[in-house]
Structure 1
Amino acid sequence: MDTLIVYCHPYEKSFNHAILTKVTVALTNQKRNYQIIDLYNEGFNPIYDQEELRLFHEGGTHDPLVKKYLALIQTASTVIFITPLWWNSIPAMLKGFIDKVMKEGEGLSHTVSSTGIHGKLNNVKHTYVLTTSTSPKFYLRFFAGNAIKKVFINQTLRQLGMRGRHWLHFGKITNSSYARRKQYLDKIEGYRFK
């Protein structure tokens, strides 16, 4: 598979869904093969139970979606995350996706040694994180700790071995005009994903 989209929003009429639509148009126009993981629509359970946590340390799972999602991410050369930022970070659903799907072990997403985490998702050559928030980007970066860039993109995704990481953000969504939203969506539709 060429491109995997990980979509994390529960509402079909959200701006995030409009972004998802434009991303798929862009990929189709570029004649790219893609698949969508729609975490909410597919009923992904981001919560560990005792058995899932026990199996984690063996690289296992009893959740069929975890197996499916890990197999998809292991075969993608490009991964595109589409998510809102809630309380200055990714939603619990996406955090649960990372927690449960990224399994430790040979042939999985990463290994852990005395020197740290060693990512195994080197197949992912380009990673895009498309976010929205009520806060402007400068506020997220300079006053709210820049968790999305510092932790999720530059640490978590890097530790998993995902390369070519890019962040595209649409801030101040609540008070944005129709014209500004359309301009951003047009930009996404014309964006050249690698």
Structure 2
Amino acid sequence: MHAAIIFNHPYEGSYCNAVLKAVIKGLARAQCTTDLIHLDKEGFNPVMTADDLRAFKQRQPVDSQVIGYKKRLDQADHLIFIFPIWWELMPALTKGFIDKVIFPGVAYEYSAGGYRMLPLFKKIKSVTVITTMNTPGLLYRLVFGNAIRKAVITGTFWKMGYKNRKWINLSMVKSTSDKKRKQWLIQLEKRFSVLN
């Protein structure tokens, strides 16, 4: 079993980094190998260029990092995203990863009629998105419309046909007690220690 983790947070002391460590620890307990795609450390360029858009039409990516990411994701049984929610959305590197890697000819193809997406990452059994934010969860849901659920869980991975999708959102991180933040990490480690 193999998990690919797409991680986006530039600050080593962030709670997202603590989440990443807990997830990796849990995966190790599950005897699951991991491939960490650390978008900040890998210097990923999130900008869609004219060449990228031309390649979109031809279903042939031209960005060497995207081509490398395709090879890495082809090996994954589980896909795990970890990122903070900033101004109610994902950071630019995560958005750019979705724009440039969840791409026709890389992550999916269209059905013969052109209306349905067919996933090309054939091994993937589950997609999990883990986010942190300082907004209260109820406010995020009622006022901001669960933007991450709509954009990533539904608008990207449901559309591509992945059935096992989960969003774990840790809200009000900044104002939450150290005790509760530690409990969240224990729960995450436990959750991923039984991934199969």
Q: TM-score, normalised by structure 2?
A: 0.91
RMSD of aligned C-alpha atoms?
1.6
**Letter of the 1:193 counterpart:** L
In structure 2, what is the equivalent of residue 88 of structure 1?
88
Distance 1:132 1:160 in 2: 25
> Mapping of 1:24-103 within 5 angstroms?
24-103=24-103
Q: Does the CA contact (< 8 Å) of 2:117 and 2:161 recur in 1?
A: no
How far the C-alpha of 1:121 sits from its partner, in A, is 3.1
CA contact (8 A) 1:5 1:81 kept: yes
Which structure 2 residue ranges, 5 or more long, are not aligned? none
CA displacement, residues 78-126 of structure 1 (integer Å, 9 cap, x when unaligned): 1111011112122221111011112213xx3112354243333342111
1:15 is matched with which residue? 15
Structure 1 SS opposite 2:58: coil
Identity of aligned residues (%): 33
Mapped to 1, the partners of 2:114 and 2:27 lie a distance apart of 40
Task: Classify 1:15/1:8 alpha carbon distance in 2 versus 1 (closer, same or farther; 3 Å).
Answer: same
Question: 1:143 matched to which residue of 2?
Answer: 143
User: Does the Cα contact within 8 Å between 1:2 and 1:32 map onto a contact in 2?
Assistant: yes
| 2:3 and 2:76 in contact (8 A); partners too | yes
1:164 aligns with 2:164: yes
Q: Which runs of 4+ in 1 moved over 6 A?
A: none
| Superposition deviation, residue 171 in structure 1 | 0.4
* Letter of the 1:15 counterpart: Y
For residues 32 and 131 of structure 2, what CA distance do their matches in structure 1 show? 22
Task: Compute the TM-score of the two structures, normalised by the length of structure 1.
Answer: 0.91
State the secondary structure of the residue aligned to 1:103. Answer: coil
The more displaced of 32-41 and 72-81 is: 72-81
**Residue segments in structure 1 that go unaligned for 5+ positions in a row:** none
8 A Cα contact 1:7 1:83, kept in partner:
yes
Residue 180 of structure 1 corresponds to which residue in structure 2?
Answer: 180
